[in-house]
Structure 1
Amino acid sequence: MARVFLNVSNNVSRIYRESLFATTAILLIGIAASPAAAQSASAGDTATTLEPIVIQGASSDSKADRTSVTAKNSAGATKISTPLVETPRSVSVTTEKEIEQRGAQTVIEAVRYTAGVTTGPNGFDPRFDQIYIRGFNITTVGDFRDSLRQPYINYGMFRTDPYQLQRVEVIKGPVSVLYGAGSPGGLINKISKLPTEEPIREVGISYGTEDRLQGMFDFGGPIGEGKDDFLYRIVGLARRGDTNFDIADDRYFLAPSFTWKPDEGTMFTVYGLAQSDETDSNVGAITTLDGKIHELRESDPDYDDQKVRQQQVGYQFEHEFDNGLTFRQNLRYSHLNLEARYLGVTGWTGTVAHRGTNAIRDEMNVFQVDNQLESKFDTGPLAHTMLFGLDYTNLQSSFGYGAGAADPAFDFDIANPTYGVSGATPDYSILASDADMRQVGIYALDQIEVGNWRFNLGGRQTWVNQTRDAILPAVSSEEVDKNAFSWQAGALYLFDNGIAPFVSYATSFDPVTNRSTSGKILAPTEGEQYEVGVKYQPPGSDILLSAIAYHIVEKNKPVLVDPLLFAYGSIGEVTGKGIELEARAAVADGWDLIAAYTYNHSEVTGGGENEGNTPALTPSHVASLWANYTFQETNPFHGLSVGAGVRYVSENWTDTANTSKNPSSFYIDASAAYDFGAVDKKYEGLTAAFNIRNIADERDTVCNEGFCYLGQGRNMTGTLKYRW
């Protein structure tokens, strides 16, 4: 961690100048605009008495997420902690209990039982968390952690291990009003494990496919006996081993955090992360000239590697004023360094593939701050919770790419496949690029309650400035300024029996960083969504059901057209229409049920030769069902918990030209866990778990615009944990 804080100290003066400006501006904007503040100043004794603000702290949410698969609240869609059944948007939450119950090893595995979500569209690729929402790829533009974006600009991406997380929120549809640049499909918001008032002590070890050995620990709680003003948490993990197809999956991370609560209305949490990952860079399958896909890796495991070092440090501050205002500031500094090399096929002679070397380097430094001022007040029968925000992001990056000519030493005969070659790494001589991006946004959101009605209305102005200095033939330096106004509105009626029909509208804006074949940065994408649905949560229950229909349009959608030059084109306008059904419920004592079905029809509705076609990797049907039963005390199998799940993805096109299809896929997962405390109280806290994914070992290949990837086969892990 020392290196993390050294990096931050070098930037501390710049960070606090930016932070001070943002904080001062948001306080002035919020206080001037707040009706509650105006009433306090002028109404005297006749001012409306405000309801006390109840801060939904990390402790209460964290405890609920460990004990139920059904989340009750989320701030992901509004930045205000709101009951999910009262939120006029589609939001799905994977809790910590569900993550552990299914033994999720990646964020992909954590969200794959969520309606509207398609995971791993490019087969098995542990370099990135590849996720589509409602038919739109949000892998690079919808990755958020603790409500701050983990940005992408060149190649490398920040990675998150599910063991670090309290929950994973899937917010569906455009949310540019609150988060700025983003996809019309939505975003994934990963909520970190942070200090809680409840003591946490856990150590564990797991072993699985392939020779994958992992140790982890999670400690936290109050510092000192009988005190809750100082809290701490430290989460760590060390993993060594491979996954299917000899793809490395090594990871080490340490994530400490500390909370100070000097009084009931103030909370300050500082946190850090130091993480090291090593996997492979080219996980694609060999495709011969006749189009046949072989279950053979194009690169060589002994040559191939991708090493990523990432560090993050930040804080979350919250203070409730006496006049009914609450101020929050979320600040983070992140650094990423990536080095990768791999072999790629350059030509063929008979059954022999000629391979050349490739190398990539990528570095990012990101400073982010989000300032919020929340005010609760009444205007006649209307109860308002109003949020004003000002956020700022500054990203600086450096990228390099190099390639070497085909070398006979790297030839690969598919008739006699052998691996185990290595060699030198090429220089970064083909492309060198420095890219910066700055985003500033001012936003406001009003949540209104009147009787059983719930309304929200929000708007945001976003300014984005991008610069890119490149050394590449036909590519010159470029600076682009872009701005956009985004807005959203929603209405929901909450019946006393827990049924809640709703309707919403929202827009999105994304100033893409992709370049065209002429070297120019592409035009921003723009999106809008209409959504109508109904939620149902019987009062006091751990049951949440939803049925939703949506209509999304995205303009200027980019698509990769020249991978050698990292060049993109636009396929024009894409329209998606669909229906989602989802259930997360504790249906009876010991029974947990998670079910999801998605129908999605995506079509290119404007853009030349592909108009009328379906975009690649957008299946029409996706369905999943997970059930878990924990035997109760009266049962002789008390202490045992068993679960099983099925997942189905229908066939989908391999390219937007709709020339061929990826086959449909069907997977079966299962789990079993045992609490040894059921045998004897002296073993209380000791648990063993076994999880198996893709029991039938289905290994379908997946192709996307000419590139084909191997599907992950059977994967198993056994875990032993002790909590006290």
Structure 2
Amino acid sequence: MAHHSFRMFTKPRTAWACFGACSVGLAAFLSAQSTDESETEEEIFELSPFQVDASDDSGYRATNTISGTRLNAAIKDIPMPIEVITDEFIKDTGSTDLRQSLAYSAGMVMSSQNDAGAGNSFNTIGGVHNPEGATSNKTQTSYKVRGFITDATLRDGFRRQFSTDAANIGRVEVIRGPAALLYGIGNFGGIVNYLPKLPSEDKTQHITLSTGNQKHFRAVYEAGDTMDNDMRFGYYVTAVHEQNGSYTELAEDNRQFISPIFTFRPTEKTEVTIDMEYGLESKNAVGFQSVRARGDLSSENVASQQDRLERAGFLQFPDKEIRTMRWSGPDTFLDTESYNIRLQATHSFSENLNLLLGYNSSKVEFDSRDVSGGITNNVGPENLRSTITVIPASVENGDAEFIYGEVTDAIFQGSWSDRNEVVDRDQIRVELNYNFGLFENSEVLNLQNSFLLGRSEESSVKDVFTRGTLENEFFYWDPTDSSYMRFGVNGDGTAAPDMEDVSDIHDLSWNQGTYIVYQGSWLDERLTAVAGMRRDRNDFRGMVTDFRQDTVTRNDAGAKEKDTSQVGITFALNKQISVYALKAEGVMPNFDGNRDVYGNAMDAVTAESEEAGIKFDLMDGKLSGTISAYRIKQTGTPIYYWWAPAPAKGRFDPDADIIYNVSDFNPTVEADWRNGSFTVAAPQWDAAVASGAAYQIDDSWYLNASSPEGEAYMDTVFNASKTTNPGWPGWLYIQDDNTNNATLDFAAAEAGGYDAFLSGDQESSGWEAQFNFAPTDNMQFVLNYAQTKRTVVNAGAFPEYPWGAGGVDKWAVWYFPDGAWGLSGYSLEDQYLDPDDTSTWQGRGYGAGEKQDDTPRHALSGWGNYRFNDGAMAGFSLGLGFQYESEREYFSGITDGSGQLVTDTNGQRVVLETDPRLNIDAMAKYEFNLGDRNAHVQLNVYNVMNDQSAYGYIYAKPTTYRLQFGMDL
């Protein structure tokens, strides 16, 4: 095994640095060689149907798209909601990356902290102590569309999963709803397809410099031209350097990005595009700001509390501001190196027969260091233990009001991890377009037809190598000591445990898709139809090497095929207004190799959507937009309940005695957290010891629950925990060579080598409105609204486990009286219609019929710009934007610290919601001539009102400003 050297890239930077320098130098040289005017008459080349026509775009308004059918088409004719974010809008809002470009897009959530079916993303930097959910993915291409998480970002139709600089983006096209027909594997809320800047007909050379608060500096160089020669050689090169600080302590990032694009025509009817990207980003101090802290601290093993900590509040220090502190210190980091190359050729065999051949190769490498752990008590060095006060959540909902208090002998127990992740993607796409007309001389019967036949093959190889603190060893920190944690040392300055190899994961995913799309128009182009079918074949192969256990585990899901379809119709009521209806499907293959509780590879997640809307283009194009209503049903969502029964594991022997390790579940163990359950059950314990039903092997206590005395003790503790709710009774489910109980067959990976998932269903419905209004040539507005209703239709169904409560083992983990798992705060009878049959599990507390998601019900955003053309203010532009969102459910149900659900006066589970939020941004620009060159100065101010409130567990960023100067060279 070749070990990785962390904090160093495996690919030499010097080669790419030379590549970047050469690209910029070539651009400068070509700019110097090209002439401003052609000496010969310019030859006219017909635009390929695979290239979007932006000739009629004006300001923030775009008329055509390439994303809806993969062919250049008018937005008004496509029966689906398509939003285009133009280059001018990106520049006016001061966006520097793709996510910022989408900030004003209807129904999109850029930062989440409660994701239905997903929970906190434990593989992200900061882990459970990062309050942001799946959108914190280190690729920075994850967001929510219509309530569904997506990372399906495309660059001109090819998949991209790492951050992209906005300087390279020519336009962004957002297609809402499932879009499997053209894009195969993807998300159900929508697809984001951005198009890079291409060589222009006119010579371009521009530089932009910007500075701002929080240590911001950015420099952008752009150069492009199309040569007037036989091959029509064109180029466009973008190079960026950016560095930023943060309003939080220590955090900084540094980024370099370069993207050269070259086009040429080897023949009159063939065009070749070479599109390249390369980026480096280094982020320091990316670990948690503070740690989640529960008031019901009980376990001596902090790892067992990780899942239960996910929605707890954060530890605070008297000398630190919770919104800016970074307790994890300066030694965490995330370094990213990425590159992409796209080779594409289009050829026109005739006026109506065109071919596209494309190949895309990308690679991204993440090197990171992170710290994890949490607050526990009664472990570690006594000199690092303290008494603390923890407040996981404050609730004011009727008379359901509580606060947690003092915890003694508290300590932070943690570990460090180094992680190297490399993702290689290759994709090939071949598309043939044939179009023809029928009855072209008839106004009524005139029929225009277009067929697109396509084939796409995509492979993704992911390798993840992890090192971590030695197994079962930890470093410790005083939870009242706010000084920065440092790698390699404890809070008292002594050396922390060493690091060791932990695991090496190798995954291969493969998708093959064949599709045919028909687009036709009738009745003098008043009626347009788009329909198609697609067949996907998906495969997954995985291998995990566990260095600690010295094991190699394979997970081969096997190839599966899936058919999807789409049909939509647009009808123009007149030249200004059209209506459309759409039915579409989506598919997300099981590329993670997830298995269900029966041990079988899970099917692909699928979705069906129904949508209807109206598109309008009024006042000679001054007012345009779309209003649509939709419903999306998602089926087969993998939902993970680690305590669910998994019959396929088959490790429990129902014919043998039921044996539990009760080292942590008996009243003889001294611990401050011992509770009333054991006081009540003390006589039964004494009887079990006297009869030999409770016995010791080495230093561990065991209990034969098949004996009358053992059964009596277990029943007494369980019943006391259910009825008197005395608090945490201890951990019962330690497994070793001496145990035999049904919990051996539960869903978690330690029970049989793999995590087992249930299959659930989710639904999103609502309506959206997008308006683009330009009443005059110097005034334009964009207004977007989204109403989203997100519902968990089915929270998954437990299988029928044959040895349940009425059978052999009635104390299995899925029957345990806990508020966060097991019975989830409910009685046995309320959680199971028939306690003897685990398949009657009701999923109470886990979302069925609930939202379980923080997508706001209402979201409204707008941006307006006014340009002064005359008078003393000539050359000035003023922009003002806002984003409003209603309450967001950031906490979908809480317990009171002893395992009991908190309910309001109506008996409903208490959920926590953020306050509504309004953010205002502003822009001022002055355009002028500097000699004979165009120049501008632009000021963007974000969060003008300096809102720094907490929305759930995430604080609003304070006011930031960016002052920019740009000029032509």
TM-score for both structures, normalised by structure 2: 0.64
| Residue among 172, 178, 186 paired with 2:190 | 186
Contact kept? 1:400, 1:428, Cα under 8 Å: no
Q: What's the counterpart of residue 848 of structure 2? A: 611
The one-letter code matched in structure 2 to 1:230 is F
Indicate how the Cα distance of structure 1 residues 6 and 421 shifts in structure 2: closer, same or farther if over 3 A, else same: closer
Contact kept? 2:937, 2:966, Cα under 8 Å: yes
| Whole-angstrom CA distance in 1 between matches of 2:932 and 2:638 | 56
Q: What's the counterpart of residue 143 of structure 2? A: 131
Contact kept? 1:651, 1:661, Cα under 8 Å: no
Q: Give SS of 1:232's match.
A: strand
Is 2:660 aligned against 1:660?
no
Q: What's the counterpart of residue 482 of structure 1? A: 560
Q: What's the counterpart of residue 507 of structure 2? A: 435
Q: What's the counterpart of residue 48 of structure 1? A: none
Q: Which has the higher contact order (CA 8 A, sep 6+)?
A: 1
Q: What's the counterpart of residue 528 of structure 2? A: 454
Q: What's the counterpart of residue 340 of structure 1? A: 368
Is 2:264 aligned against 1:260?
yes
Post-superposition offset of 1:448: 0.4
| Whole-angstrom CA distance in 2 between matches of 1:701 and 1:570 | 34
Q: What's the counterpart of residue 48 of structure 2? A: 55
Q: Give SS of 2:200's match.
A: coil
Q: Give SS of 1:654's match.
A: strand
Q: What's the counterpart of residue 110 of structure 2? A: 119
| Residue among 165, 170, 186 paired with 1:166 | 170
Indicate how the Cα distance of structure 1 residues 711 and 482 shifts in structure 2: closer, same or farther if over 3 A, else same: farther
Post-superposition offset of 1:284: 5.9
Post-superposition offset of 1:602: 1.1
Post-superposition offset of 1:408: 8.6
Q: What's the counterpart of residue 454 of structure 2? A: 389
| Residue among 463, 479, 493 paired with 1:398 | 463
Indicate how the Cα distance of structure 1 residues 284 and 505 shifts in structure 2: closer, same or farther if over 3 A, else same: farther
Indicate how the Cα distance of structure 1 residues 5 and 325 shifts in structure 2: closer, same or farther if over 3 A, else same: farther
Is 2:292 aligned against 1:287?
yes
Q: Deviations over 1:539-567 (max 9, x none)?
A: 85254211100000001223566799896
| Residue among 534, 551, 554 paired with 2:614 | 534
What are the equivalent positions in structure 2 for 1:609-648 lying under 5 Å apart? 609=843, 610-632=847-869, 634-648=870-884
Is 2:317 aligned against 1:317?
no
Is 2:620 aligned against 1:375?
no
Q: What's the counterpart of residue 212 of structure 1? A: 216
| Whole-angstrom CA distance in 2 between matches of 1:345 and 1:64 | 56
Which deviates further from its counterpart, 533-542 or 211-220? Answer: 533-542
Contact kept? 1:346, 1:354, Cα under 8 Å: yes
Q: What's the counterpart of residue 505 of structure 1? A: 583
The one-letter code matched in structure 1 to 2:613 is G
Q: Give SS of 2:96's match.
A: coil
Indicate how the Cα distance of structure 1 residues 456 and 60 shifts in structure 2: closer, same or farther if over 3 A, else same: closer
Contact kept? 1:359, 1:426, Cα under 8 Å: no
The one-letter code matched in structure 1 to 2:931 is K
What are the equivalent positions in structure 2 for 1:673-712 lying under 5 Å apart? 673-677=925-929, 682=931, 684-701=933-950, 709-712=954-957
The one-letter code matched in structure 2 to 1:384 is N
The one-letter code matched in structure 2 to 1:374 is N
Contact kept? 1:533, 1:547, Cα under 8 Å: yes
Indicate how the Cα distance of structure 1 residues 57 and 507 shifts in structure 2: closer, same or farther if over 3 A, else same: closer
Contact kept? 2:50, 2:72, Cα under 8 Å: no
Percent identical across equivalent pairs? 18
| Residue among 73, 82, 91 paired with 1:100 | 91
| Residue among 871, 885, 891 paired with 1:649 | 885
Which deviates further from its counterpart, 661-670 or 164-173? Answer: 661-670
Q: Give SS of 2:931's match.
A: helix
What are the equivalent positions in structure 2 for 1:521-600 lying under 5 Å apart? 522-538=602-618, 541-559=621-639, 569-570=757-758, 572-600=760-788
| Residue among 69, 73, 81 paired with 1:82 | 73
Contact kept? 2:533, 2:565, Cα under 8 Å: yes
TM-score for both structures, normalised by structure 1: 0.84
Q: Give SS of 1:310's match.
A: strand
Contact kept? 1:203, 1:723, Cα under 8 Å: yes
Q: Deviations over 1:360-388 (max 9, x none)?
A: 21111111111110011124432101100
| Whole-angstrom CA distance in 1 between matches of 2:231 and 2:325 | 53
Provide the alpha-carbon RMSD of the alignment: 3.1
Post-superposition offset of 1:571: 6.3
Post-superposition offset of 1:640: 1.0
The one-letter code matched in structure 1 to 2:541 is T
| Whole-angstrom CA distance in 2 between matches of 1:682 and 1:411 | 62
Q: Give SS of 2:101's match.
A: helix
Q: Deviations over 1:111-159 (max 9, x none)?
A: 1211121222245958323311111011x3x121111112xxxxxx422
Q: Deviations over 1:242-263 (max 9, x none)?
A: 2332433321111111110234
Contact kept? 2:111, 2:136, Cα under 8 Å: yes
Which deviates further from its counterpart, 495-504 or 343-352? Answer: 343-352
Q: What's the counterpart of residue 49 of structure 1? A: none
Q: Deviations over 1:372-431 (max 9, x none)?
A: 100111244321011000011121121123332699976364x55333734499757333
Q: Give SS of 1:235's match.
A: strand
The one-letter code matched in structure 1 to 2:769 is L
Q: What's the counterpart of residue 330 of structure 1? A: 358
Q: Give SS of 1:144's match.
A: strand
Q: Deviations over 1:327-350 (max 9, x none)?
A: 012211111111111122332454
Which deviates further from its counterpart, 335-344 or 527-536? Answer: 335-344
| Residue among 142, 148, 156 paired with 1:146 | 156
Post-superposition offset of 1:655: 4.9
| Whole-angstrom CA distance in 2 between matches of 1:345 and 1:710 | 22
The one-letter code matched in structure 2 to 1:236 is A
| Residue among 537, 541, 545 paired with 1:463 | 537
Which deviates further from its counterpart, 535-544 or 245-254? Answer: 535-544
| Whole-angstrom CA distance in 2 between matches of 1:231 and 1:390 | 28
- How many corresponding residue pairs? 659
Contact kept? 1:544, 1:583, Cα under 8 Å: yes
| Whole-angstrom CA distance in 2 between matches of 1:641 and 1:173 | 35
The one-letter code matched in structure 2 to 1:661 is L
5+ long unaligned stretches in structure 1: 8-51, 151-156
5+ long unaligned stretches in structure 2: 1-10, 17-44, 114-131, 296-311, 315-321, 377-384, 389-410, 440-445, 490-496, 643-746, 797-842, 894-908
Post-superposition offset of 1:265: 2.4
Post-superposition offset of 1:666: 1.8
Post-superposition offset of 1:522: 4.2
The one-letter code matched in structure 2 to 1:443 is Y
Q: Give SS of 1:243's match.
A: coil
User: By percentage of residues, which structure has more strand?
Assistant: 1
Post-superposition offset of 1:189: 0.9
Indicate how the Cα distance of structure 1 residues 591 and 423 shifts in structure 2: closer, same or farther if over 3 A, else same: farther
Contact kept? 2:281, 2:335, Cα under 8 Å: yes
| Whole-angstrom CA distance in 2 between matches of 1:604 and 1:269 | 45
Q: Give SS of 1:541's match.
A: coil
